[in-house]
Amino acid sequence: MQKDPFKEYLKEKEPTKKEKAYSWYTAIGLQKVDGLDTSKYLNDLAIKNIEGEVSLEDVSGLINSYYEEKNDDTNNNEEADKVSINIAKILSEKAFVFSPIQYLDIHKKLFKNVFPHAGKIRTYNISKKEWVLNGDTVIYGGASMLNETLEYDFSVEKNYDYSNISRDDFIKHIARFISNLWQIHVFAEGNTRTTAVFLIKYLKTFGYDVTNDIFANNAWYFRNSLVRANYSNIEKGISETTLYLELFLRNLLLNENNELKNRYLHIDFNKKVNIDNKKVDIDDKKVDIQTIDISDNIRKKITKLHNELSNKDYFGRTEVMNVLELSPSGASKFISSLLIKNIIIPIDGYGKGKYVFNEEIIYE
């Protein structure tokens, strides 16, 4: 498996390179919450920026020129590339004011060259089918009260007394505040990425140096934890909980190693979590890949695919083509065979043809 170049830079002793690497790694990783991937060209430019060969403005100009010349409506990397640059810019800035205006401004800066409604409050009600909720949706803020709700949440948080509270209480409180902020869903698109960037900037005002890989590697988990923090279904015995978001924040802020698996957040998953001692009790039995009725050649390909892609929140045909060096039709046939054997599982909400590995299977 190839080493992740951005993750390697996080080990840098030189502060400037490490901070730049964190900004880029986080910016690129956060695109996963909307099923987006950055281009190789952007990734190469990011490395040059970390090395000091080009500035962020240079990267922005080169990417704009790249897509003006490309003029390819079928390309799905443009949004991810441009928003990643904008996130890297904001994370590199020290300026921050805790206010609704700052929150709106972050959205405007992130999506100014992507969405015509960048920085604007949505004017219609929304719902979104969630894989983690079996296709159900969170109840988002009503369009007629979005500005008032946003102002209220910021007012309550601004008046909260953080003096003399424990780290555990700090994390619990931040989890509830940020999940409430996200639940408003004040924008038509880009709410999770805006909330994540705002949270990182806000945490820095408390003295936390969050230059690690938690957001980059767990962006989808972060979004799903926000979903679970704002979903209740009394009939099914499901209550909203910030527990999963707290586990994420404990890894982010306290360098803990809680297991952040998206399947744990699914409303049908049977598990128990004890946050006090960070133990996870999983009530399931795994199947060894060696016991599944497939050829040795297919088994080797599955193992290779798992080694390369298991750290991703999800993958599609393009990733299968690249890892196994298959044609588009060959990759489609291979994916179909894995679906039949229940080795991979399709997921909704992140674009057509997205999959995750069945984690009830041992692949090595």
**Where along the chain do the CATH 1.10.10.10 domains lie?**
287-362
CATH number for region 287-362: 1.10.10.10
The single-letter DSSP state of residue 32 is: G
pLDDT of residue 74: 47
* Cβ contact 5:28 at 8 Å: no
C-alpha closest to that of 128 among 199, 206, 226, 272: 226
Per-residue DSSP letters for 137-150? ---PPPGGGHHHHH
**Positions in the chain short of pLDDT 70:** 1-3, 71-76, 270-286, 348-351, 364
At residue 44, the pLDDT reads 95
What pLDDT was estimated at residue 308? 87
Q: What is the pLDDT of residue 15?
A: 80
Task: Give pLDDT, residue 350.
Answer: 63
Inter-residue long-range contacts of 54-63, CB under 8 Å, 24+ positions, other chains counted: 56/85, 56/88, 56/89, 56/92, 59/85, 60/85, 60/89
Helix orientation angle between 219-228 and 243-254, rounded to the nearest 10 degrees: 140
Distance in angstroms (rounded) separating the CA atoms of residues 292 and 315:
22
Query: 95-284: which CATH architecture?
Result: Orthogonal Bundle (1.10)
pLDDT, one tens digit per residue, over 195-225 is: 999 999 999 999 998 888 899 989 999 999 9
pTM for the structure as a whole: 0.77
Which two three-digit tokens encode residue 107? 């959205």
Question: Which residues belong to CATH 1.10.3290.10 in the chain?
Answer: 95-284
